[in-house]
């Protein structure tokens, strides 16, 4: 009987079964950043422990970094403390750091792949929920908490519950103006924000197979928003070619040996799945969230639900509508937005910025909208500037910033004010997520954010694409 990629990677990395029923799994790559590591390093120091595998650990700063003025010390002393602690910890424990002035700096889930640290068949852990992003390469990648960060630093292992595998096959062609983000939001809407609990999501089907690595990363990134512990795509030639020549990818003969091993990690054709779901890409539309979790979404041409719809949770809908100050039954298109944010580890890669720039080129941001583009990494920023995308955005009235998480979670100075409505290319629309306790987030694709910025309201990007 064939095996899924999850089973193969799990088996190869199993150290032992624990009495708890969990598996102790060896972690091939530990990515760390400034927010979830200070206490973990404090424990190591207090107990006189070393980092078990510093060579398998890589650090960057992303969550708290200012994206406008990065002068040190930061005005926010808590942010400055976190950055300083990470620098000291990396120095003391011998860990490589892509710090603020490093040309490799960026959001941890953007730089891992672009540096070639992320590779197929690996186990990866990081103290951030959206570590599932790395599954796009056929890695099994876990978002972990601070106590688990401590465990991985100290032992390079993680105790994990066994997972079921749900294959989600997406078939057919995406219509123009419908993107990987819309696929991710559609999956979460249909299967629910808790639908993936206890599962790994394997994304398959010809739509996924035709996708670029950037698109696959967007889909895998959102796995956690559907409750899945991990999400992955089987490695193929697209994966291999993406990795060729990356700084930390193997080279020469080693690359060819790695290629064979990487592609052999893919699920076998006769693998058995715990669940199988199929969705048709050609029926998908641009999606916008109206509520306070990524599953509360509708197509851009639809009206905001009332909670009376079959299968709907009326209480949750009423609570979300109250927080969002929205009226049931009104079309989502035409809803005024105050802020447009293109950024985050979901959608701030070069291809995202290219697509958004295509929408804003020759247009102007609506006068009442504050619009900003925050590239996912310093490398994305340089590449975008090399193509003149920064000029396109600036000419349209966007602010062009330095790399970081920024308004995805508002741990830096980029925060919503009061109950502002933000069209965002990020991944979470939880209450207060963007730095204001009453801020309102509408998740959508970067092209839809660009369209909302110029229209000043939620609008159907399909009217603006060629």
If one asks whether residue 219 binds ligand SF4 (CB under 6 A), the answer comes out as no
If one asks whether residue 259 binds ligand SF4 (CB under 6 A), the answer comes out as no
Nearest distance in Å: CB 192, ligand SF4: 20
Nearest distance in Å: CB 260, ligand SF4: 32
Please choose, out of 66-74, 159-167, 184-192, 401-409, the segment that lies near ligand SF4 by the rule CB under 6 A: 401-409
Nearest distance in Å: CB 129, ligand SF4: 6
Distances (CA, A) of 60 to 44, 96, 112: 19, 9, 10
| Beta carbons within 8 Å of 322's beta carbon, 6+ residues apart | none
Give the whole-angstrom CA distance, residue 185 versus residue 260.
Answer: 33
If one asks whether residue 165 binds ligand SF4 (CB under 6 A), the answer comes out as no
Residue linked to tokens 């048709």: 280
End-to-end, the C-alpha distance of the chain in Å comes to 47
Beta-carbon count within 10 A of 395 CB: 14
Q: Which of residues 84-113 bind ligand SF4 (CB under 6 A)?
A: 107-109
| Phi, psi (rounded to 5 degrees) for 20 | -75, -10
Nearest distance in Å: CB 97, ligand SF4: 17
Catalogue the E-assigned strands of 264-369.
275-280, 287-289, 297-299, 339-342
Instruction: Taking the CA atoms of 195, 200, 205 and 206 in sequence, report the sign of the dihedral they define.
Output: positive
Selected from 345, 455, 458, 464, the binder of ligand SF4 by CB under 6 A is 345
Give the whole-angstrom CA distance, residue 76 versus residue 294.
Answer: 30
Residue among 128 and 202 whose Cβ is closer to ligand SF4 = 128
List alpha helices for 138-226, DSSP H: 146-155, 180-191, 206-210, 213-221
Nearest distance in Å: CB 375, ligand SF4: 12
Residue among 34 and 457 whose Cβ is closer to ligand SF4 = 34
Please choose, out of 115-123, 311-319, 349-357, 403-411, the segment that lies near ligand SF4 by the rule CB under 6 A: 403-411
The number of C-alpha atoms within 13 Å of 465 and in the hemisphere containing its C-beta is 17
Selected from 53, 130, 134, 229, the binder of ligand SF4 by CB under 6 A is 130
Nearest distance in Å: CB 374, ligand SF4: 9
Rg of the Cα trace of the chain? 21
Q: Which of residues 407-466 bind ligand SF4 (CB under 6 A)?
A: 408-409, 426-427
If one asks whether residue 114 binds ligand SF4 (CB under 6 A), the answer comes out as no
Residue among 405 and 449 whose Cβ is closer to ligand SF4 = 405
Residue among 134 and 199 whose Cβ is closer to ligand SF4 = 134
Residue among 352 and 457 whose Cβ is closer to ligand SF4 = 352
Selected from 34, 62, 352, 355, the binder of ligand SF4 by CB under 6 A is 62
Residue among 344 and 392 whose Cβ is closer to ligand SF4 = 344
Structure tokens at 169: 């096959």
Nearest distance in Å: CB 316, ligand SF4: 23
Nearest distance in Å: CB 239, ligand SF4: 21
Distances (CA, A) of 202 to 141, 195, 218: 12, 14, 14
If one asks whether residue 381 binds ligand SF4 (CB under 6 A), the answer comes out as no
Give kind and range of the element (H or E) at residue 423.
Answer: strand 421-424
Nearest distance in Å: CB 425, ligand SF4: 10
Question: Which SS3 state, helix, strand or coil, does residue 17 take?
Answer: strand
If one asks whether residue 405 binds ligand SF4 (CB under 6 A), the answer comes out as yes
Of 246, 235, 270, 410, which Cα lies nearest the Cα of 339? 410
If one asks whether residue 32 binds ligand SF4 (CB under 6 A), the answer comes out as no
Instruction: Taking the CA atoms of 119, 122, 127 and 131 in sequence, report the sign of the dihedral they define.
Output: positive
Instruction: Taking the CA atoms of 243, 246, 251 and 254 in sequence, report the sign of the dihedral they define.
Output: negative
Selected from 67, 223, 344, 459, the binder of ligand SF4 by CB under 6 A is 344
Residue among 204 and 339 whose Cβ is closer to ligand SF4 = 339
Give kind and range of the element (H or E) at residue 15.
Answer: strand 14-17
Compute how many residues bind ligand SF4; rule: CB under 6 A: 14
If one asks whether residue 167 binds ligand SF4 (CB under 6 A), the answer comes out as no
Residue among 217 and 320 whose Cβ is closer to ligand SF4 = 217
The number of C-alpha atoms within 13 Å of 48 and in the hemisphere containing its C-beta is 0
If one asks whether residue 249 binds ligand SF4 (CB under 6 A), the answer comes out as no
Selected from 30, 53, 56, 63, the binder of ligand SF4 by CB under 6 A is 63
Question: Which SS3 state, helix, strand or coil, does residue 141 take?
Answer: strand
Nearest distance in Å: CB 135, ligand SF4: 14
Please choose, out of 45-53, 67-75, 260-268, 405-413, the segment that lies near ligand SF4 by the rule CB under 6 A: 405-413
Give the whole-angstrom CA distance, residue 153 versus residue 37.
Answer: 9
Residues that bind ligand SF4 (CB under 6 A): 62-63, 107-109, 128, 130, 344-345, 405, 408-409, 426-427
């Amino acid at each position: 009987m064939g095996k899924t990629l999850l089973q193969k990677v799990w088996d190869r990395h199993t150290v032992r079964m624990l009495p708890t029923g969990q598996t102790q799994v060896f972690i091939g790559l530990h990515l760390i950043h400034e927010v979830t590591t200070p206490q973990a390093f404090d424990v190591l120091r207090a107990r006189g422990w070393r980092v078990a595998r510093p060579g398998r650990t890589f650090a960057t700063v992303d969550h708290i970094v200012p994206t406008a003025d990065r002068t040190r010390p930061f005005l926010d002393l808590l942010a400055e403390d976190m950055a300083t602690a990470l620098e000291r910890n990396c120095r003391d424990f011998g860990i490589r750091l892509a710090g603020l002035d490093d040309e490799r700096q960026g959001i941890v889930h953007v730089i891992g792949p672009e540096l070639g640290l992320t590779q197929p068949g690996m186990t990866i852990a990081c103290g951030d929920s959206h570590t599932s992003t790395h599954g796009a390469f056929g890695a099994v990648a876990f978002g972990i908490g601070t106590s688990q960060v401590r465990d991985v630093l100290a032992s390079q292992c993680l105790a994990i519950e066994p997972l079921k595998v749900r294959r989600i096959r997406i078939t057919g062609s995406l219509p123009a103006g419908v993107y990987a983000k819309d696929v991710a939001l559609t999956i979460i809407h249909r299967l629910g924000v808790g639908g993936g609990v206890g599962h790994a999501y394997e994304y398959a089907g010809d739509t996924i197979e035709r996708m670029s690595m950037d698109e696959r990363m967007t889909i895998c990134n959102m796995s956690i928003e559907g409750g899945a512990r991990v999400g992955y795509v089987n490695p193929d030639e697209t994966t291999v070619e993406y990795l060729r020549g990356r700084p930390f990818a193997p080279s020469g003969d080693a690359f060819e040996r790695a290629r064979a091993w990487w592609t052999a990690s893919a699920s076998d054709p006769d693998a058995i799945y715990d669940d199988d779901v199929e969705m048709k890409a050609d029926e998908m539309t641009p999606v916008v969230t109206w509520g306070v979790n990524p599953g509360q979404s509708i197509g851009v041409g639809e009206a905001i639900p009332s909670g009376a719809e079959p299968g709907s949770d009326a209480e949750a809908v009423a609570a979300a509508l109250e927080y969002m100050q929205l009226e049931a039954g009104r079309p989502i298109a035409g809803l005024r937005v105050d802020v447009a944010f293109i950024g985050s580890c979901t959608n701030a890669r070069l291809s995202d910025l290219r697509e958004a720039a295509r929408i804003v080129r020759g247009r102007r941001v609506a006068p009442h909208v504050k619009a900003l583009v925050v590239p996912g990494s310093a490398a994305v920023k340089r590449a975008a500037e090399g193509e003149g995308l920064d000029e396109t955005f600036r000419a349209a009235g966007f602010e062009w910033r330095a790399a970081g998480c920024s308004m995805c979670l508002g741990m830096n100075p980029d925060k919503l004010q009061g109950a502002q409505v933000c069209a965002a290319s990020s991944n979470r629309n939880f209450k207060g997520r963007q730095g204001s306790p009453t801020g309102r987030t509408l998740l959508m694709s970067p092209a839809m954010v660009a369209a909302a910025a110029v229209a000043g309201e939620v609008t159907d990007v399909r009217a603006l694409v060629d």
